[in-house]
């Protein structure tokens, strides 16, 4: 036995982690990091084309194709916009939610997925309370799986619609993106980063276009190691200092349902991190204000800011339908066919 | 009378300091004679005699491997594993002694269950040594009758998986076990700190949106337990730290040894080979407790094995049915199988890659764990000891195929991995428990 407290350093070459086999299906969108810049550009371009297309021709693109929406968590925006998107392209949609299905009887995600596939579903849009559930569903069904939010992990279509919103204001007219498109732009994400799948997807997506992402929040909701999640991410705990550097600020709801016993002093939180009219006017008078919703007015943002001139919150919702049309189209059509079924 | 001659092999018996070409004669389940090639005085396997001869030319003969940390799932969870299938997997991996943890259903907290697990009806093909629960139902409240458990065959006590958190109960456990000469094995995890956690706390858990289990949750319990051993030092209490996974816990063990305390530790192959990066996108076969840790922790395991702080390699073989692992990561049960891969991985990495001498690797897998739990006549091949042996081709490289496992379960992250050293025969008390003479 060597009693030395500092062991000798050897050059170790331990086995590397294996490469990810995901996605199995090229139509899947599991993570914002699955998309190349070319694919992001394609989705943004198709979103605009589909949004402007005559609904009567648009609904031939996926006429009678079958899309299942599988929702283990409640949702207003995401579910409705995915449904409108799929229907807008002519697809038949069916909604399975955990409270009115055999999931209540204990059916596993695997069996639910296989059942939907046997029923003819050609793609599954999944919202799930467990991080990673879309990866499980995709590996078991091999269908295109669209991640509509998994636990505290990712929400890639939200990041894409946020990107479309940001581009519309900061880079109007740009749809073909590169690694420099958002060079010089700082986007601050504020609040409950720890529990936020929106934050994680945006942290993966925006820096790839050259943006700097600042994370802002208290230690309980924003651990130091969040900055290690990828390149282009930094932490600035002083909200005013972060705002002064930002062209866009993304406010997040405190996810009471995921606090898991953590106690948070809401009055102190509001004092430090609430976006108020005066704060916005002094620190970031030209920045756009985003929020993925649902908004808790009077907590993370005041009503005045949510309804104010700098707010783009409802634009985000509108962009959600366009982005999700492009993503659902991508799921069900090979690249050569896209837009070609009209 | 049954006799067996193992001829032409290279015997490595680290405990006896033997490393050379030897023939071995086995009679009535014990080693009867060891001699140079062709020099056996008795039962030399001449044609016409009733002696079975194994030709071990080009092969290594070593003491049968000893795994002091397995879950055989019986009684109560035979769909995951039985004592018969678990010991068949052990034999395939070269193990001839396995110490079975008490988190069965019901918990093994009684002499009756301890005896039941060792009964011939269980169909074990290698020796099973039950580890009994330290407290009633492993609830961490009332201490069991250790003397009765020991006389029923228990070799240690542990509430594995349900660590003893109360200082007073742990202290009493260490003292009571010391009085009857049993070791206390602690799964060091402050479960108050790991609520809801499903992997190592770190950047990877943050990225995957999973709640983390901190290194401190392990090291703080190890440090607390060492303090208790220090307080009880006159009682010769023995603390064994199960599946050590963090640099901080190892540092505490290292310091305890320096202070002359009876504190030992084991490391599992997955903790010296893998990190939390191997969880990938929610691979439930990379989920266990303690979880795969950071690269720095993993490197600390390797260093501690190489410099001798680690006393044993133990697998924490924890079979689960396929359907139990085909679920959301946070809902999947902890644990992976390990009996069939421990030798192949240890030889491939510790010996071939990191140059740990073969004798040291084998000692970590046999002599040292046998000594640690005081398994008399195990972990060595000297005249009079149990004829527990593994005969393997040290040069053979092969690929592990989880579907071909002898276990009932195949929840392993090592499916498809290259292994070094192919087991040809496993001999348990003179009987061939496994053979693959390919």
Let me know whether B48 and B141 are in one domain.
Answer: no
Q: Which residue is it, tokens 């968590």? A: A73
Report DSSP letters for B163-232, one per residue: ----HHHHHHHHHHHHHHT-EEEE----TTT-TT--EESSHHHHHHT--EE-HHHHHHHHHHHHHHHHHT
Provide the percentage of residues in chain A whose pLDDT is more than 70. 94
What is the Cα–Cα distance from B11 to B44, expressed in whole angstroms?
A: 17
For residues A79-90, average pLDDT: 97
Specify the pLDDT at position A4.
46
Candidate from A7-21, B279-293, B420-434 with smallest mean pLDDT: A7-21
For residues A195-218, average pLDDT: 98
Q: How far is A114 from chain B (nearest CA, A)?
A: 13
Kindly determine whether residue A2 and residue B328, on different chains, have CB atoms separated by under 8 Å. Answer: no
Instruction: Dig out the tokens for B151 from the structure.
Output: 């006389």
Let me know whether B97 and B144 are in one domain.
Answer: yes
**DSSP 8-state class, residue B135:** B
What would you report as the CA-atom Rg of chain A, rounded to the nearest whole angstrom? 21
- Best B248, B282, B286, B417 member to test A by mutation, with max A CBs in 10 Å, is B282
- Best B196, B202, B328 member to test A by mutation, with max A CBs in 10 Å, is B328
Mean pLDDT of chain B: 96
Provide the percentage of residues in chain A whose pLDDT is more than 90. 86
Domain around B147: 64-372
Q: How far is CA B197 from CA A63, A216, B337, in A?
A: 44, 24, 21
* CB contact at 8 A, A123 and A144: yes
Q: Inform me whether the pLDDT recorded for A3 exceeds 80.
A: no
Q: Note the pLDDT tens digit of each residue in B196-243.
A: 999 999 999 999 999 999 999 999 999 999 999 999 988 999 999 999
Q: Inform me whether the pLDDT recorded for A337 exceeds 80.
A: no
What is the Cα–Cα distance from B210 to A225, expressed in whole angstroms?
A: 13
Let me know whether B50 and B131 are in one domain.
Answer: no
What is the Cα–Cα distance from A233 to B203, expressed in whole angstroms?
A: 13
Give A265's Cβ-side CA count (13 Å radius).
Answer: 6
Query: How much is the ipTM here?
Result: 0.93
3-class secondary structure per residue, chain A: CCCCCCCCCCCCCCCCCCCCCCCCCCCCECCHHHCCHHHHHHHHHHHHHHHHCCHHHHCCCCCCCEEEEEECCCCCHHHHHHHHHHHHCCCEEEEEEHHHCHHHHCCCHHHHHHHHHHCCCCEEEEEECCCCHHHHHHHHHCCCEEEEEECCCECHHHHHHHHHHHHHHHCCCCCCCCCCCCCCCEEEEECCCCCCHHHHHHHHHHHHHCCEEEEECCCCCCCHHHHHHCCCEEECCCHHHHHHCCCEEEECCCCHHHCCCCCCCHHHHHHHHCECHHHHHHHCCCCEEECCCCCCECCCECHHHHCCCCECHHHHHHHHHHHHHHHHHHHHCCHHHCCCCC
What is the number of other CB atoms lying within 10 angstroms of the CB of residue B302?
23
Give A263's Cβ-side CA count (13 Å radius).
Answer: 1
The dihedral sign for the CA sequence B264, B269, B271, B273: positive
In chain B, whose CA is at the least distance from the CA of A18? B278
Mean pLDDT of chain A: 93
Mapping DSSP to helix (H, G, I), strand (E, B) and coil, where does residue B370 land? helix
- Taking contacts as CB-CB distances below 8 angstroms, the residues of chain A near B302 are 10, 12, 14
Specify the pLDDT at position B438.
65
* CB contact at 8 A, B68 and B312: yes
Q: What is the CATH number of domain A156-317?
A: 3.40.50.1370
In a domain, B312, yes or no: yes
For residues B137-166, average pLDDT: 97
For residues B421-430, average pLDDT: 98
Specify the pLDDT at position A339.
40
- A151 torsion bin: left (phi>0), alpha (psi -120 to 50), beta (else): left
Specify the pLDDT at position A257.
78
- Taking contacts as CB-CB distances below 8 angstroms, the residues of chain B near A225 are 202-203, 206
Specify the pLDDT at position B48.
53
For residues A265-288, average pLDDT: 96
* CB contact at 8 A, B315 and B335: no
Kindly determine whether residue B206 and residue A128, on different chains, have CB atoms separated by under 8 Å. Answer: no
The active-site residue, picked from B13, B23, B297, B316, is B316
Specify the pLDDT at position B148.
98
What is the number of other CB atoms lying within 10 angstroms of the CB of residue B115?
14
Strand duo B52-55 + B3-13: pairing: parallel
In a domain, B364, yes or no: yes
Q: How far is CA B70 from CA A123, B130, B326, B338, in A?
A: 42, 10, 22, 9
What is the Cα–Cα distance from B97 to B153, expressed in whole angstroms?
A: 13
Kindly determine whether residue A132 and residue B307, on different chains, have CB atoms separated by under 8 Å. Answer: no
What is the Cα–Cα distance from B253 to A151, expressed in whole angstroms?
A: 38
What distance lies between CA A85 and its chain's CA centroid? Answer: 16
C-alpha torsion angle, residues B317, B319, B322, B323 (rounded to 10):
-130
Specify the pLDDT at position A338.
43
Per-residue pLDDT band for B43 (boundaries 50, 70, 90) equals low
Provide the percentage of residues in chain B whose pLDDT is more than 90. 95
What is the Cα–Cα distance from A41 to A206, expressed in whole angstroms?
A: 13
Let me know whether B312 and B167 are in one domain.
Answer: yes
Q: Which residues contact A94 (CB under 8 A, 6 or more apart)?
A: A66, A67, A68, A69, A119, A121
Per-residue pLDDT band for B262 (boundaries 50, 70, 90) equals very high
Let me know whether B205 and B315 are in one domain.
Answer: yes
The domain defined by A32-154+320-331 folds into: Rossmann fold (3.40.50)
For this structure, is B297 an active site residue? no
What is the Cα–Cα distance from B267 to A55, expressed in whole angstroms?
A: 63
What is the Cα–Cα distance from A240 to A318, expressed in whole angstroms?
A: 29
Q: Inform me whether the pLDDT recorded for B89 exceeds 90.
A: yes
Per-residue pLDDT band for B333 (boundaries 50, 70, 90) equals very high
What distance lies between CA A320 and its chain's CA centroid? Answer: 11
Specify the pLDDT at position B44.
54
In chain B, whose CA is at the least distance from the CA of A17? B278
Q: How far is A225 from chain B (nearest CA, A)?
A: 6
Closest by CA position to B52, among listed B382, B384, B427, B438: B427
Let me know whether B192 and B270 are in one domain.
Answer: yes
Per-residue pLDDT band for A334 (boundaries 50, 70, 90) equals low
What is the number of other CB atoms lying within 10 angstroms of the CB of residue A60?
12
What is the Cα–Cα distance from B220 to A186, expressed in whole angstroms?
A: 41
Specify the pLDDT at position A104.
83
Mapping DSSP to helix (H, G, I), strand (E, B) and coil, where does residue B49 land? coil
- Best B196, B206, B211, B327 member to test A by mutation, with max A CBs in 10 Å, is B206
Q: Note the pLDDT tens digit of each residue in A88-145.
A: 999 999 999 988 788 888 899 999 999 999 999 999 999 999 999 999 999 999 999 9
Q: How far is CA A157 from CA A30, A149, A190, B328, B420, in A?
A: 9, 9, 19, 21, 46
In chain B, whose CA is at the least distance from the CA of A132? B282
Q: Inform me whether the pLDDT recorded for B404 exceeds 50.
A: yes
pTM: 0.94
Report angle CA B292, B286, B425 to the nearest 5 degrees. Answer: 100
What is the Cα–Cα distance from B320 to B115, expressed in whole angstroms?
A: 24
Report the largest interatomic distance among the alpha carbons of chain A, rounded to a whole angstrom.
79
**DSSP 8-state class, residue B134:** S
* CB contact at 8 A, B361 and B350: yes
Total tally of structural domains belonging to chain B = 2
Kindly determine whether residue A140 and residue B300, on different chains, have CB atoms separated by under 8 Å. Answer: no
In chain A, whose CA is at the least distance from the CA of B284? A136
Q: What is the CATH number of the domain that holds B10?
A: 2.30.40.10
What are the domain boundaries of chain A?
32-154+320-331, 156-317
What is the number of other CB atoms lying within 10 angstroms of the CB of residue B255?
15
Kindly determine whether residue A200 and residue B273, on different chains, have CB atoms separated by under 8 Å. Answer: no
Helix residue spans in B259-315 (DSSP H) = 269-273, 295-306
Evaluate whether A32-154+320-331 and A156-317 have a shared fold: yes
Size of interface A-B (CB pairs under 8 A): 114
Kindly determine whether residue A7 and residue B280, on different chains, have CB atoms separated by under 8 Å. Answer: no
**DSSP 8-state class, residue B291:** P
Report DSSP letters for B78-121, one per residue: TTT--HHHHHHHHHHTTEEEEEEPS-SSS-S-SHHHHHHHHSGG
H or E segment at B257? helix B247-258
Provide the percentage of residues in chain B whose pLDDT is more than 70. 98
What is the Cα–Cα distance from A82 to A1, expressed in whole angstroms?
A: 62
Q: Inform me whether the pLDDT recorded for B178 exceeds 90.
A: yes
- Taking contacts as CB-CB distances below 8 angstroms, the residues of chain B near A3 are 254, 257-258
* CB contact at 8 A, A159 and A197: no
> Among partner residues A17, A128, A136, which is closest to B280 by beta-carbon distance?
A17
The dihedral sign for the CA sequence A305, A308, A313, A316: negative
Q: Note the pLDDT tens digit of each residue in B27-41.
A: 999 999 999 999 998
Instruction: Dig out the tokens for A307 from the structure.
Output: 């309804």
Q: Note the pLDDT tens digit of each residue in B355-400.
A: 999 999 999 999 999 999 999 999 999 999 999 999 999 999 999 9
Let me know whether B69 and B38 are in one domain.
Answer: no
Let me know whether B39 and B75 are in one domain.
Answer: no
Closest by CA position to A213, among listed A166, A178, A174: A166
Per-residue pLDDT band for B46 (boundaries 50, 70, 90) equals low
Q: Inform me whether the pLDDT recorded for A7 exceeds 70.
A: no
Q: Inform me whether the pLDDT recorded for B1 exceeds 70.
A: no
Q: Note the pLDDT tens digit of each residue in A251-274.
A: 999 887 777 677 788 899 999 999
Let me know whether B74 and B57 are in one domain.
Answer: no
What is the Cα–Cα distance from A206 to A209, expressed in whole angstroms?
A: 5
Specify the pLDDT at position A9.
60
Q: How far is B172 from chain A (nearest CA, A)?
A: 29
Let me know whether B176 and B55 are in one domain.
Answer: no
Candidate from A13-22, A182-191, B402-411 with smallest mean pLDDT: A13-22
Let me know whether B315 and B327 are in one domain.
Answer: yes
- Best A9, A11, A15 member to test B by mutation, with max B CBs in 10 Å, is A15
Q: How far is CA A206 from CA A202, A209, A242, in A?
A: 6, 5, 17
**DSSP 8-state class, residue B349:** I
- Taking contacts as CB-CB distances below 8 angstroms, the residues of chain B near A10 are 302-303, 306, 354
* CB contact at 8 A, A191 and A165: no
In a domain, B410, yes or no: no
Kindly determine whether residue B202 and residue A225, on different chains, have CB atoms separated by under 8 Å. Answer: yes
> Among partner residues A7, A110, A131, which is closest to B209 by beta-carbon distance?
A131
Q: Inform me whether the pLDDT recorded for B167 exceeds 60.
A: yes
Q: Inform me whether the pLDDT recorded for A39 exceeds 70.
A: yes
- Taking contacts as CB-CB distances below 8 angstroms, the residues of chain A near B251 are 5
What is the Cα–Cα distance from A121 to A83, expressed in whole angstroms?
A: 14
Let me know whether B35 and B142 are in one domain.
Answer: no
| pLDDT: which is higher, B251 or B233 | B251
* CB contact at 8 A, B238 and B183: yes
- Taking contacts as CB-CB distances below 8 angstroms, the residues of chain A near B323 are 108
H or E segment at B128? strand B127-132
Q: Inform me whether the pLDDT recorded for A230 exceeds 80.
A: yes
């Amino acid at each position: 036995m060597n009693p030395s407290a500092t062991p000798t350093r050897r050059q170790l070459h331990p086995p590397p982690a294996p490469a990810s086999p995901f996605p199995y299906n090229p139509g899947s969108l599991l993570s914002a990091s699955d998309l190349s810049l070319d694919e992001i550009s394609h989705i943004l371009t198709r979103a605009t084309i589909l949004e402007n297309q005559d609904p009567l021709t648009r609904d031939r693109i996926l006429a009678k194709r079958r899309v299942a929406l599988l929702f283990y968590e409640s949702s207003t925006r995401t579910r409705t916009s995915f449904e409108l998107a799929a229907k807008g392209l002519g697809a038949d949609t069916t909604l399975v939610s955990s409270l009115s299905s055999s999931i209540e009887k204990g059916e596993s995600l695997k069996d639910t997925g296989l059942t939907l596939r046997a029923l003819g579903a050609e793609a599954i849009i999944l919202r799930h309370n467990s991080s990673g559930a879309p990866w499980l569903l995709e590996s078991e069904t091999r269908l295109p799986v669209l991640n509509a939010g998994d636990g505290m992990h990712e929400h890639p279509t939200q990041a894409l619609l946020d990107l479309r919103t940001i581009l519309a204001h900061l880079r109007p007219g740009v749809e073909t993106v590169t690694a420099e498109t958002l060079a010089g732009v700082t986007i601050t994400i504020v609040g409950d980063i720890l529990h936020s799948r929106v934050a994680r997807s945006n942290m993966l997506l925006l820096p790839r276009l050259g943006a700097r992402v600042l994370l802002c929040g208290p230690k309980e909701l924003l651990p130091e190691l969040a900055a290690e999640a990828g390149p282009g991410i930094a932490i600035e705990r002083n909200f005013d200092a972060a705002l002064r550097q930002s062209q866009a600020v993304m406010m997040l709801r405190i996810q009471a349902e995921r606090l898991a016993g953590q106690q948070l002093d809401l009055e102190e939180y509001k004092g430090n991190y609430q976006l108020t009219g005066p704060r916005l006017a002094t620190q970031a008078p030209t920045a756009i204000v985003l929020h993925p919703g649902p908004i808790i007015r009077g907590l993370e943002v005041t009503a005045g800011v949510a309804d104010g001139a700098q707010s783009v919150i409802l634009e985000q919702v509108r962009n959600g339908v366009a982005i999700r049309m492009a993503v659902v189209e991508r799921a069900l059509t090979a690249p050569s066919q896209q837009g070609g079924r009209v | 009378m049954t006799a067996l001659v193992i001829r032409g092999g290279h015997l490595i018996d680290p405990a006896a300091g033997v490393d050379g070409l030897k023939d071995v004669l086995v009679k009535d389940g014990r080693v009867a004679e060891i001699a140079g090639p062709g020099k056996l005085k008795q039962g030399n396997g001449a044609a016409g005699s009733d002696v079975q001869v194994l030709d071990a030319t080009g092969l290594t003969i070593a003491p049968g491997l000893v795994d002091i940390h397995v879950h055989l799932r019986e009684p109560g969870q035979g769909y995951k594993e039985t004592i018969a299938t678990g010991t068949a997997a052990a034999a395939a991996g070269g193990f001839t002694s396995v110490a079975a943890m008490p988190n069965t259903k019901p918990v093994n907290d009684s002499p009756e269950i301890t005896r039941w697990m060792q009964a011939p009806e269980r169909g074990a093909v290698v020796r099973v040594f039950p580890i009994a629960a330290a407290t009633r139902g492993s609830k961490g409240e009332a201490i069991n009758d250790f003397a009765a458990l020991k006389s029923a065959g228990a070799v240690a006590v542990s509430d594995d998986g349900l660590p003893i958190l109360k200082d007073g109960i742990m202290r009493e456990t260490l003292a009571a076990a010391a009085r009857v000469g049993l070791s206390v094995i602690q799964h060091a995890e402050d479960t108050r700190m790991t609520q809801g956690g499903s992997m190592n706390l770190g950047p990877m858990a943050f990225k995957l949106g999973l709640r983390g289990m901190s290194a401190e949750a392990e090291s703080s319990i190890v440090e607390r337990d060492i303090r208790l051993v220090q307080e009880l030092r006159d009682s010769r209490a023995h603390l064994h730290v199960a599946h050590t996974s963090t640099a901080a816990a190892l540092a505490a063990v290292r310091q305890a040894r320096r202070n002359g305390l009876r504190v030992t530790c084991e490391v599992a192959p997955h903790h010296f080979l893998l990190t939390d990066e191997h969880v990938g996108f929610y691979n439930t076969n990379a989920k266990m407790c303690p979880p795969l840790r950071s690269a720095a922790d993993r490197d600390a395991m390797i260093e501690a094995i190489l410099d001798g702080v680690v006393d044993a390699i133990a697998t924490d073989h924890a079979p689960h049915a396929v359907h139990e692992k085909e679920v959301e990561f946070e809902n999947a049960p902890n644990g992976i199988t390990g009996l069939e891969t421990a030798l192949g991985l240890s030889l491939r990495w510790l010996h071939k890659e990191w140059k740990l001498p073969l004798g040291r690797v084998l000692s970590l897998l046999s002599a040292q764990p046998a000594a640690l739990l005081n398994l008399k006549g195990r972990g060595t091949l000297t005249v009079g000891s149990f004829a527990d042996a593994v005969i393997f081709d040290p040069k053979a490289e092969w690929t592990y195929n989880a579907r071909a496992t002898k276990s009932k379960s195949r929840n392993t992250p090592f499916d498809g991995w290259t292994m070094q050293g192919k087991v040809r025969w496993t001999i348990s008390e003179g009987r061939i428990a496994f053979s693959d003479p390919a």
